[in-house]
Structure 1
Amino acid sequence: MKKSLLLLLISFQLMAQKNNMYLTPYEKGNGNQTATYTETIAYFKMLDDSFETIQMVPMGLTDSGEPLHIVIFDPEKSFDFNTIHKNRAVLLLNNGIHPGEPDGIDATMMLYRDLATGKLKTPENTVIVNIPVYNIGGALNRNSHTRANQNGPESYGFRGNARNYDLNRDFLKSDTRNSRSFAEIFQKVNPDVFIDNHVSNGADYQYTFTYIATHHQKLGGELGRFFKDEMMATILNDLKKQGTEATPYVNIHDQKPDGGFEQFMDYPRYSTGYASTFNTVGSMPETHMLKDYAPRVKVTYDYMVASIDYIEKNYKKIKKLRTDNLNNYKPGMKYTLFWKLDKTKVTQLEFLGYEGGYRPSEISGQPRLFYDRSKPFTKTIPYYQEYNPVTEVVIPQAYIIPKTWWNAIELLQLNGIKMQPLENDTEIEVESYRIADYKTSKTAYEGHYPHNSTEVTVTTEKVLFHKGDFVINTQQPGVKYLLETLEPQAPDSYFNWNFFDAILQQKEYFSAYVFEDTAARLLNEDATLKAAFEKKKAEDKAFSENGEAQLDWIYRHSVYYEKSHLQYPVYRKVK
């Protein structure tokens, strides 16, 4: 009897030791502490060593010099994405893009442990992949003060990466090694669903959990409608059944939300916007910065579990809609590059907030905003979700880009874009853009002085392309990525991110005292040119009184003016 009791006691002790072995650093702490980068990688390495269903793989360098990792949970233990995509869906989780927002880092460690140990039901139709810490440089820059508006954890990483880039502005332009490695991961994994875990900034309210869902109009077609009205609605309803109320990301700062707010339009500089260019449905959990850390971690965990449950039941539909969505982006169809909020279309949103008001600041004496948490309210407020197209383009059959623009070509290829080099010098009829106007930011933004409000003029002409120049057919999975990057009027186009700035500068000029005689000869020899010149003077008084401007006008309309100035070097083949 004593021997049996001893064996039972030893068995319980071994089980307890094994369970404690898999406690995460967060669970071992006081509920207000997050794992360091080193602890996070060590924990996933332990899971990899302990469970055949988990594999951790290094995947490219970051600006910190440390490699990114992906951690795969695959119950079938194949870890081959070509095989996986034949009959299962892939969920990609991204954590620590802003390491001061570490909720997802801790929640995902527990998620993987619970999947591997069977605490959670093993998914049959879903493979889960996660990037444990995306911004490694920021995670290593640990402190307790840079998130001045945030309630915990005790210490955390910094928003900027090792080169001070905000990585959630870098997915399209890819200035960092992090984003280039992410592109490789994304193309390898080809996720059907993407979740990028964050913590909010902004207003105060009752919710612990808010979210940014990829804008349904950016996703497009039936896929966008399904994501908005079915998938997200069901997942959020599941959270509500568990006692968690959720609301869309409160996209306002330093003002009360009572007057309503708009759905965030996630252009492809952002993670979910980037994902949507490949027809991947994405969401960005934004737990509330002022809530305690432990409830934030829990609801992040719960959201990921609810998402996995939904994917399990609907993976075939998700995959089919992703494929079918390509039918909305064929040559000759219109594609919206720029959207404007439609304030005439309003959704009434039930909102759980706190009464707010203004009182004199102790610092300045001026009115300051405050929220009274002793006065919670439930109000119906306006929520704006619909946008109108502002700038549209007709999708071409192909783009042609000279091999000289290797910076753009390399990034296109990194993002899985297929292209075919010309075998011989070939003259092709194309649509050609000239940059007619643009504005440039006067302050630095993420390593650039980006352009905006870009306008182009379009002509159809025959252009001689050279052997090795690339023809890029638009009928491929990355068609939306092509349109967002190669159409210069798109907000996040390669042009607006300064990839082609060399064309904006003239390389040859003229000396006025020499060109005066040449200009006079040109006008005498070309009646059409002279008529246009005289018309310009008659219609533009300032021009008629400016001899320098007149000489420059003649120069720009002559054979002496360099063709490359303001000539956009990417061409459109429309037939």
Structure 2
Amino acid sequence: MKKLLLLLLLPTVMFAQKKDKYATPYEKGNGNQTATYQEVIAYFKLLDTDFESIQILPMGVTDSGEPLHIVIYNPDKNFNFAEIHKNKAVLLINNGIHPGEPDGIDATMMLYRDLATGKIVAPKNTVLVNIPVYNIGGMLNRNSHTRANQNGPEAYGFRGNARNFDLNRDFVKNDTKDARSFAEIFHKVNPDIFIDNHVSNGADYQYTFTYIATHHQKLGGNLGTYFKDDMMPEILAGLKAKGIESTPYINIHDEKPDGGFEQFMDYPRYSTGYAAMFDVPGSMPETHMLKDYTSRVKATYAYIQQSLDFIEKNYTTIKELRAANNDNYLPGNKYTLQWAIDSTQVTLLPFLGYEGSYITSNVTGQQRLFYDRKKPFNKVVKYYQHYTPALEVTIPKAYIIPKQWWTVIELLKLNNIQIQALEKDTEFEVESYRITDYKTAKSPYEGHYPHNSTSVKTTTRKVMFTKGDFVIDTQQPGVKYLLETLEPQATDSYFNWNFFDAILQQKEYFSAYVFEDTAAKLLKDNAKLKAEFDVKKQQDKDFDKSAEAQLDWIYQHSVYYEKSHMEYTVYRLMK
């Protein structure tokens, strides 16, 4: 009898074991626990072993010494991206860039399992790729206290990578091995849509789910309009139908959001800003730090699923708009390097918040901000999402970079930019920049003292370039990347990130007691120079009182002054 009962129960037991086999560490826990790095990789390797639709691949090194991985889901069991792109779209999901924000890690593990097991309908037109943990060094630095403002999970990773870089500031400067490997992955995968999962900081409000969407004006053209007016609204409507309200990311910390807020400008240093340079619409889910972990994971899962559903129905349109977007960036067209909020265009945004007030702090005795969760409200607030160009540049036909600037050349190649070396010495008429002013950060930021407020003087002249110097045609998919990195006035240009600081230092000088006689002769022999010198003295009292400044002015206007000082060594070929 016992043997018969065992035989009858065996199928049920086997089914339960099979079902539990694919439970994630998060699902096995108490709802407030997240997987470790080792558990994440082991889980995806399990799915790879058991399902032909899933493949995990090591892809490049990181500062931690561990390799990045990508995990591909394709029900057709084809993992060749050149072939995939012929008739399908690719969604790239990035997780764990800030490992203290692990919602996406756990949500994506469950999503892949649900797709592979048939719990949710397999996509026919979309292939999913995810980086299960991007910041491996930070993930391995597990703790329970560095996210002081966050409500769970119980333990998590650290924001900085193995060398303490914030990887979500490193997509242009590429100081880390992590970022360099990401670039290789990005261009190998060539995603049509990009999602980078995060958890917010800042104000308190009712929403579990907020989001940063790539600014539509930065995406440009019909692609940007489609992303703003069609794609994001439909995805968010799908979330709402599931009972998940959402609002744009609220970049406010010590003020009340009911006064209104601006759309976050995701510069190229950030993941979605980086993706936008290659015509990839991107978004950062920002679940709210104060909501419980289970609700946050659920919202992240739902957002990825809704995005997948939208891509499934509209993959042809997305791919066509991406392919056509370069037509907006032809030589001679204007390109915006710097943006400013257009305060004349206001969107009235329904907003679910909590009443905020200022009360006396029990710690400092000063006034502190307090949100009263017993007083929720539904108000309409001002939302500023339109920007206006603050600085534009004309797109050149090509850039020319002398071969000695190999650090920049390496980064261009890393980001799939096509370049051509001159086969012989060649003279070109080019536009050249001289740096006339800039400001430098007084405190270190992500391993740099970056510049800002850069201004230039433009001249057109003939320059002889030598064999091996590089010509970079702007008519290629990375045209926006070229403009954002090679134009020195762009916010995240290579110049502003200190790659050209050597040109800012003068190498040769003069001794005043020797140069006095030379300066006198220069003024005597050059009437035009003498006239300009006299005007300068008349108009500038400080200059008139400074012998050192006067000699230096004459020196800089003479043949003795090194022309390479402050000359920006990336040249613009206009025709």
**Partner residue, 1:171:** 171
Size of the aligned set, in residue pairs, is: 575
Aligned equivalents of 1:507, 1:19: Cα separation in 2? 70
Aligned equivalents of 2:507, 2:240: Cα separation in 1? 63
Aligned equivalents of 2:531, 2:255: Cα separation in 1? 58
Which letter maps to 2:139? Answer: A
Deviation at 1:3, TM superposition (A): 9.2
**Partner residue, 1:122:** 122
**Partner residue, 2:446:** 446
**Partner residue, 1:433:** 433
Which letter maps to 1:331? Answer: P
Deviation at 1:529, TM superposition (A): 1.4
Aligned equivalents of 2:8, 2:283: Cα separation in 1? 47
Q: What TM-score results when the alignment is normalised by the length of structure 1? A: 0.99
Aligned equivalents of 2:98, 2:144: Cα separation in 1? 14
Deviation at 1:205, TM superposition (A): 0.5
Aligned equivalents of 1:5, 1:481: Cα separation in 2? 68
Superposition pairs of residues 1-150 of structure 1, within 5 angstroms: 9-150=9-150
Deviation at 1:4, TM superposition (A): 8.8
- Secondary structure, aligned partner of 2:119: coil
Assess, with a 3 A threshold, how the Cα gap between structure 1 residues 227 and 5 changes in structure 2: closer, same or farther: farther
Aligned equivalents of 2:197, 2:413: Cα separation in 1? 27
Aligned equivalents of 1:207, 1:7: Cα separation in 2? 51
**Partner residue, 1:303:** 303
Deviation at 1:2, TM superposition (A): 10
Aligned equivalents of 2:141, 2:327: Cα separation in 1? 45
Aligned equivalents of 1:261, 1:537: Cα separation in 2? 49
- Note the alpha carbon deviations across 1:471-528, whole angstroms, 9 max, x for none: 0000000000000000000000000000000000000000011111111111112222
**Partner residue, 1:326:** 326
Superposition pairs of residues 60-459 of structure 1, within 5 angstroms: 60-459=60-459
Aligned equivalents of 1:454, 1:535: Cα separation in 2? 27
- Secondary structure, aligned partner of 1:149: coil
Which letter maps to 1:187? Answer: H
- Note the alpha carbon deviations across 1:150-205, whole angstroms, 9 max, x for none: 00000000001111111101111111000000000001001000000000000000
Which letter maps to 1:530? Answer: K
Q: What TM-score results when the alignment is normalised by the length of structure 2? A: 0.99
Aligned equivalents of 1:62, 1:2: Cα separation in 2? 56
Moved more, 536-545 or 344-353: 536-545
Percentage identity across paired residues of the two chains: 74
Which letter maps to 2:390? Answer: V
Aligned equivalents of 2:260, 2:133: Cα separation in 1? 34
**Partner residue, 1:514:** 514
Deviation at 1:544, TM superposition (A): 1.6
- Note the alpha carbon deviations across 1:8-41, whole angstroms, 9 max, x for none: 5322221111110000010010000000001101
Aligned equivalents of 2:213, 2:197: Cα separation in 1? 12
- Secondary structure, aligned partner of 2:568: coil
Deviation at 1:533, TM superposition (A): 1.3
Assess, with a 3 A threshold, how the Cα gap between structure 1 residues 455 and 208 changes in structure 2: closer, same or farther: same
- Secondary structure, aligned partner of 2:43: helix
Assess, with a 3 A threshold, how the Cα gap between structure 1 residues 215 and 4 changes in structure 2: closer, same or farther: farther
Aligned equivalents of 1:47, 1:562: Cα separation in 2? 63
Superposition pairs of residues 543-554 of structure 1, within 5 angstroms: 543-554=543-554
- Note the alpha carbon deviations across 1:41-83, whole angstroms, 9 max, x for none: 1101111111111111111111101100000001111101111
- Note the alpha carbon deviations across 1:258-317, whole angstroms, 9 max, x for none: 101010010000000000000000000000000000010011001000000000000000
Aligned equivalents of 1:379, 1:289: Cα separation in 2? 22
Q: Any gaps of 5 or more consecutive residues in structure 2?
A: none
- Secondary structure, aligned partner of 2:456: strand
Aligned equivalents of 2:198, 2:17: Cα separation in 1? 33
Aligned equivalents of 1:209, 1:438: Cα separation in 2? 39
Which letter maps to 1:425? Answer: D
**Partner residue, 1:486:** 486
Aligned equivalents of 2:59, 2:205: Cα separation in 1? 39
- Secondary structure, aligned partner of 2:371: strand
- Note the alpha carbon deviations across 1:114-151, whole angstroms, 9 max, x for none: 11111110101000000000000000000000000000
Which letter maps to 2:477? Answer: P
**Partner residue, 1:530:** 530
Aligned equivalents of 1:442, 1:413: Cα separation in 2? 32
Aligned equivalents of 1:317, 1:15: Cα separation in 2? 42
Aligned equivalents of 1:433, 1:307: Cα separation in 2? 44
- Secondary structure, aligned partner of 1:373: strand
Aligned equivalents of 2:192, 2:408: Cα separation in 1? 26
**Partner residue, 2:474:** 474
Aligned equivalents of 1:253, 1:221: Cα separation in 2? 33
Aligned equivalents of 1:3, 1:542: Cα separation in 2? 104
Which letter maps to 2:452? Answer: N
- Give the CA RMSD over aligned residues: 1.1
Deviation at 1:538, TM superposition (A): 2.0
Which letter maps to 2:570? Answer: V
Deviation at 1:5, TM superposition (A): 7.3
Which letter maps to 2:516? Answer: E
**Partner residue, 2:502:** 502
- Note the alpha carbon deviations across 1:527-574, whole angstroms, 9 max, x for none: 221121122112222212211111000100111100110000100000
Which letter maps to 1:77? Answer: K
- Secondary structure, aligned partner of 1:150: coil
- Secondary structure, aligned partner of 1:382: strand
- Secondary structure, aligned partner of 2:105: helix
Aligned equivalents of 1:482, 1:512: Cα separation in 2? 43
- Secondary structure, aligned partner of 1:399: strand
- Secondary structure, aligned partner of 2:569: coil
- Secondary structure, aligned partner of 1:464: strand
- Note the alpha carbon deviations across 1:446-473, whole angstroms, 9 max, x for none: 0000000000000000001010000000
Aligned equivalents of 1:515, 1:572: Cα separation in 2? 36
**Partner residue, 1:562:** 562
Which letter maps to 2:545? Answer: E
Aligned equivalents of 2:550, 2:255: Cα separation in 1? 52
**Partner residue, 2:573:** 573
- Note the alpha carbon deviations across 1:368-426, whole angstroms, 9 max, x for none: 00111111110001000001100100000000001100000000100000000000011
Which letter maps to 2:404? Answer: T
